[in-house]
Amino acid sequence: MSAIQEDNKKADGYKSRWDKIQRVWKNNQLLYGVVGFLLGLVFFPIIQALSNDLINFLDNLSAEVIGIVFTVVFIDRIYQYREDQRHKSTLLRELGDTANVTVRKAWRELKDMKLHTDGTLQGISLVNANLSNINMSTADFKKTALNDADLSYSHLVETDFSKAEMIRAKLDNTNLKRSKFKKAIMSKVKIRNAIGIGVDFISARLKYANFNDSQFTKCNFKDARLREASIQNAQFIECNMQNTNLYKANLSGTQFINVTFDQNTTLPDGRRWNPNIQLEDYTR
């Protein structure tokens, strides 16, 4: 038998079996329909149960995954916050150091983190800190303890020292443009050879302060207490000295140009200012 004949025989066999299947299906369509329906009734609940279990499983899985992710993120945030607080505490401690190199490094980091203006420096202790020769402009030192601190040669433009305690602090050769010392406690402070423009000294306590060789323009000394202060060879231009207490202050060589006094201003000899008083009597 040739190969072609053998292939033809196989094809005839397939066709015969297919014809037989078609005849069986045609003669028993109703039976198969009933059987299919019954099988559907039997397996549908099983399939549905499996589907519900799968959906419930996925729901529970998604809830657990979300819970795990939330927990991990929350714990990570707490850990990061604690690390940030620990690092911040370290920087503030270093800022109060007596070694200027350590202080300058800490200041750079604090400034990069913008912590010098957000209130972080308010009320902390920087007693004896060596803050000299640093640009601390716009820093917020309100209510900060700076007793015996050295801020000489620093830039303090728009720096806020309101209500700070600065007893015996050194601010020699500083730039004090628009800085604030309102209600600051500054007994025996040294502000020699400094430049102040628009500085707020309202109600500052400056007993025994040293302002020698400094220049102040358009500064406000209203209600300031300058008892027994050394203000020699200084210059005050267009400043407000209403109700300023200058009792026993040394004004030798100092110039007062267009300065505003009032009847509540106390002069070095204890007298109250009036338009007839010659200030040259105190500045010679």
Task: Tell me what the mean pLDDT of segment 48-68 comes to.
Answer: 55
The conformation of residue 273, written as its DSSP 8-state character, comes to: P
- Pick the closest to residue 216 from 202, 232, 195, 231 (CA basis): 195
Task: Tell me what the mean pLDDT of segment 170-191 comes to.
Answer: 98
> Token pair for residue 250?
């040394």
pLDDT band at 85 (very low <50, low <70, confident <90, very high): confident
Asked whether the predicted pLDDT for residue 132 surpasses 80, the reply is yes
pLDDT band at 7 (very low <50, low <70, confident <90, very high): very low
Residue pair 237/254 in contact by the 8 Å Cβ criterion: no
Instruction: Supply the pTM of this predicted model.
Output: 0.74
Distances (CA, A) of 51 to 55, 64, 121, 258: 6, 20, 62, 92
> Token pair for residue 63?
């809830």
Distances (CA, A) of 154 to 25, 234, 251: 103, 20, 26
Q: How far apart are CA 61 and CA 69, in angstroms?
A: 12
Residue pair 110/91 in contact by the 8 Å Cβ criterion: yes
Task: Tell me what the mean pLDDT of segment 132-147 comes to.
Answer: 98
